[in-house]
Amino acid sequence: MNKVLTKHGLIELPAFMPDATYGSIKAISFNDAKESGVNEIVTTTLHIEEKIGSIYIKEIGGINKFFKWDRPILTDSGGWQVFSLINNSKNNKNIISSLGCSFINPINGKSSLLTPESSQIIQNNIGSDIVTVLDNPILGDVSYSERKECVRINTNWAERSKKKFIEINNLVNMESFKFDSNYTVGEKRPLIGSVIQGGNDFELRKLSAQQLIELDFDMYNFGGMPLHTKETWRTESKKGFYHEMLHFVSELIPNNKIKYAMGVGQPEDIAYCVDFGWHMFDTVLPTRNARHGYIYVSQGQSKGEPTRSYKNLSYDILHLKAERYKLDQRPLDETCECICCKTVTRAYLRHLLRINELAGLRLATIHNLNFYSKWMKKLVVPTVNLTQLAK
């Protein structure tokens, strides 16, 4: 299995990262995450800055020390949270421009500005193992010229982000930015990923990828929600997850680069993406779904609910709050050895979730993360040489 070396250890590919959005994985401790097989996490730059403060984290010795998490951490740029705020707000002071993103902070009412440079400074203060450039998603039904302008800004921000990254990491020239032949650079400096944008437009995705590849980054990320609302020209794919677009974008990225499908996703979607070269994934689904009683289990473990599958891999879903589980004395999954499956019944966990008891939220989350950890071990990234990523 291919591996990526970082300052805080190896990332085995393919890798799934649960979201520690506000500096924690909801309902569980980081030790619970470790016990569930989690090896790497992603946390949110903007929320960390707002809720905790990156300078404070730097003073305390970095995010790993603060969390007491001795494994890899990836940070996003903070951009997605800002864009969601700007696009869902009627406040005309919330705007996106070539400079960056200016917005009224909903927490304290103060004017804030996030730029490609400030995002890199915040992530450097945090001390993450993998940082992300500020990107410009295409949101909503806008014209082609507006979408193209989004891609132009996205590329400009990536270039400025890399320049700041080189400066704050004391990389004196471009050669010192490069990966070395045995891929030990991840121990020496953070890795940096840019984000391919373009919405659901194949032409613009290609343009974005070409421009970012020319700039040269360690990692290339799929940005924006990979969803579509109709059958597409390649296959009669079901509505929802945009298989063709993920396949198309993966083929644009050199195979000697790390490929990160942001926000993907359901187990079968991750399996599909791994087949087509994607290496890393993150989503809130296993943790959020757990808190709502949506439980991932091995095939044959559900009670009259449909099986989901991809090729030879299958699993079932328990909608645990349903009446059919009220008297069910079995564990969630009789093939699972997690603390949830070893200590409580479906009936009792259903009760805990229905009354929103914290113990139930914790146990369900632990189980779903266990399921994802075991699912990832079943997947194999197509063989590529990740030891010479810069070549």
Residues 6+ apart with CB under 8 A from 167: none
Judge if the upstream peptide bond of residue 265 is cis by omega within 30 degrees of 0: yes
Verdict on whether the full-model pTM lies above 0.85? yes
- What pLDDT does 389 receive? 39
Q: The tokens of 384 are what?
A: 């590529």
HSE-CB of 322 using CA atoms within 13 angstroms: 12
- What pLDDT does 227 receive? 52
- What pLDDT does 78 receive? 81
Radius of gyration of the chain (CA): 21
- What pLDDT does 230 receive? 52
Residue 19 annotated among the catalytic residues of the structure: no
- What pLDDT does 76 receive? 94
In the chain, which stretches have pLDDT less than 70?
Answer: 1, 84-93, 106-107, 139-140, 173-184, 225-240, 383-391
- What pLDDT does 187 receive? 79
> Contact, 49 vs 17, CB < 8 A?
no
187 — phi, psi (to 5°)? Answer: -80, -25
- What pLDDT does 295 receive? 97
Other Cβ atoms closer than 10 A to 230: 6
What span, in angstroms and rounded, lies between the C-alpha atoms of 168 and 133?
Answer: 14
Helix, coil or strand: residue 313: strand
- How do residues 287-337 score in pLDDT, each as one tens digit? 999 999 999 999 999 877 889 999 999 999 999 999 999 999 999 999 999
Residue 129 annotated among the catalytic residues of the structure: no
Strand residue runs (E) in 250-325: 258-262, 280-283, 294-298, 307-310, 313-319
- What pLDDT does 10 receive? 95
HSE-CB of 135 using CA atoms within 13 angstroms: 26
- What pLDDT does 88 receive? 62
Out of 76, 269, 328, 333, which one is annotated catalytic? 76
- Ranges of each domain in the chain: 3-283, 289-376
Q: State whether CATH 3.90.1150.10 applies to domain 3-283.
A: no
Out of 19, 135, 282, 328, which one is annotated catalytic? 282
- What pLDDT does 211 receive? 98
What span, in angstroms and rounded, lies between the C-alpha atoms of 3 and 378?
Answer: 16
